[in-house]
Amino acid sequence: MQRLRQHTLYHIIRLLSKADPLKYLFDSPSSMRNIAKSRCQLTEYDIEYMSCTSVKGQAIADHLAEFPVEDDTPVNSDFSDEGILQVDDEEGLPTWKMYFDGVVNSTKPSIGAILISPDGRYYPVEAKIDFPHTNNVTEYEACIIGLQAVIDFKVKELEVFGDSMLTIFQTLGQWKTKDAKLIPYHEHLEELTENFEKVLFTYTPLIKNQFANALATLTSMVSITK
């Protein structure tokens, strides 16, 4: 009340509480100094106590006073959906998801991605790399091969998850691409994102990306012809 004093002094303040703290405060026989001080501070305000149970009825009354109903349509004051915090039109609908990961070792580097459809179907995508590479190159390759597969499915909205901070944050524009080897990958990845109406990139720690990592590891263990 003190912090908002310049506003509260000129308006009726409705105090909402399960109990009636004002009644206790003003009727209490206690002579404690802090209670007496609180009494003095509150007397300058126009405070009206309201119990929780009366709020719903008061809200309806305020609404009808502002928007009067001219016909005889009965008003149902029983709101069974009080627990709803937010209602979205289509934002809550499930979208396609993609997890990508690259595995680098001395003999059989591989890349992999998992596509997950809104109905929960999983589509694995994997490939091997047979040219000079770095860890960051394999991550870009994995993301790109996954996006290309999603585009083939004619998907327009996609959530992308990866454990490569560099790939994710460069794609989000939070990090700059300075490595000459990665610039073409970054540019190509941006071109691919133009195929979507909505695409979100999210960095996820390695422990949450185990599925795509296991896929890439499995790919590195099998023999794939050229």
112-168 confidence digits (pLDDT tens): 889 999 988 888 888 888 877 788 888 999 999 999 999 999 999 999 998 888 889
Query: What are the boundaries of each domain within the chain?
Result: 5-66, 96-221
Q: Compare 224 and 203 and report the one with higher pLDDT.
A: 203
Range with lowest mean pLDDT among 64-73, 75-84, 160-169, 216-225: 75-84
Q: The domain 96-221: what is its CATH number? A: 3.30.420.10
Q: Looking at residue 224, what is its pLDDT? A: 54
Say which residues have a Cβ less than 8 Å from residue 161's Cβ, sequence separation at least 6: 97, 98, 99, 100, 202, 203, 204, 208, 209
The pLDDT-based confidence of 172 (bands split at 50, 70, 90) is confident
Which position has the higher pLDDT, 66 or 171?
171
User: Among the listed ranges 3-17, 20-34, 90-104, 189-203, which one has the minimum average pLDDT value?
Assistant: 20-34
Output the average pLDDT for the chain: 74
| pLDDT tens digit sequence for 174-198 | 888 778 888 999 999 999 999 999 9
Query: If you ran DSSP here, which 8-state letter would residue 61 be given?
Result: H
What angle, 0 to 180 degrees and rounded to 10, lies between the N-to-C axes of helices 183-193 and 135-152?
Answer: 20
Alpha helices in the chain (DSSP H): 5-8, 21-27, 33-42, 52-66, 135-152, 165-171, 183-193, 210-221
In this predicted structure, what is the pLDDT of residue 8?
74
Contacts of 168 (CB under 8 A, 6+ apart): 160, 162, 201, 202, 203
Of residues 106 and 42, the one with the higher pLDDT is: 42
Q: What are phi and psi of 3, to 5 degrees?
A: -65, -30
pLDDT given at position 163:
86
Q: What is the pTM of this model?
A: 0.53
